[in-house]
Amino acid sequence: MKRTIIAGALLAVLSAFAGQALEAQLPANLRDYPLSSLKKSGDIVAPFFDGWFDNGDGTITYSFGFLNRNTEEIVDIPLGENNYIEPAQYDGVQPTHFPVYDRRGFQGKWERGTFGITVPDHQTEVWWTLTHAGRSYSVPGRATSPAYELSRAPAAFGSLSPALRFDPTGPESRGPEGHVAQRVMASVGTAVTLSALVQDRGQRYDFDTDMDVYPVRATFILHQGPAPIVFEPESVTVGNEESVSEGGIVGTSWGTATTQATFTESGEYVVRIRVDNFGAPDSKFDNMCCWTNAYVPVTVR
């Protein structure tokens, strides 16, 4: 028994030395990542490439998200040398606000599909770089690997990304790269109304599902800006065709999602509206289906 203990202790010591030797061979920025424990603050914020869509006309849309490894620290990285996209013609659409997410149905801290970028062909690459807590990370958007190709086809039971419009006859957003609304003017401390027209989409008639149309949820998110925004409510659920007919229906199964946004500081803001149908049986937050983005620029004086 004594020999076993001594041998085990010796093995543990040798293993520790071996581990230290291997660790010393790693670059300095990798020695405490990714095996280090999570921190409340001071940890990294990293860009992520979700994948790419073939739009069928020769163009490609890249989907990007981010990871905030902190458990409590909400990070803001303004556009500029610590938060930029190359080539420069695509810069400016990325978020500057990186909250800590803890949502029902979302496992982990990776926020998927916060924005999309459409490029003219398969050969065009887009790089997003973020620097925080002394570390800089860059991720490429590229369409060279079929493993990263995303599909716009119906999910297992027919779900598709919901539709979002700012005007009944205006352009329609479907997917991570959303349309931008007309600029809204606001004043500090005075609530302003933000709204969008939303619609569940799907091809469920040939599937054994409970409903052909599911409720959708619109969530209002600070995408860019110098200070937090108070949304009342932060998210709103719009029911199916039967339940939204009294709430401003503008067409078959279209409904209106509205919030009151109050700004505490002046400046330039962008509000992201994400509409999802995560209540459907083939859709949830940690999948790549089914949600849609759109963006509202706001000038606060």
User: What average pLDDT values come out for the chain (301 residues) when binned by 10 residues?
Assistant: 37 39 52 66 93 96 93 93 98 95 58 94 97 95 94 87 92 93 98 95 70 86 97 88 38 82 98 92 79 97 95
Q: How far apart are CA 203 and CA 212, in angstroms?
A: 8
The pLDDT of residue 116 is: 96
What distances in angstroms separate CA 273 from CA 21, 137, 210, one per listed residue?
49, 27, 27
The pLDDT of residue 287 is: 74
As a 3-state breakdown, the chain gives helix, strand, coil percent values, each rounded to 5, of: 10, 40, 50
The pLDDT of residue 251 is: 42
What is the edge-to-edge ordering of all strands in the sheet holding 110-119? 110-119, 60-68, 45-54, 149-150
Burial state string for 256-289 with b = 16 or more CB within 10 A and e = fewer than 16: bbebebbbeeeeebbbbbbbbbbebbbbbeeebb
Q: How far apart are CA 273 and CA 99, in angstroms?
A: 15
Q: Which helix (H) or strand (E) holds 20?
A: helix 2-25
Pairing of strands 184-186, 291-300: parallel
Predicted model pTM = 0.82
Q: Contact 244/255 with Cβ under 8 angstroms?
A: yes
Pairing of strands 163-165, 192-199: antiparallel
Q: How far apart are CA 174 and CA 165, in angstroms?
A: 9
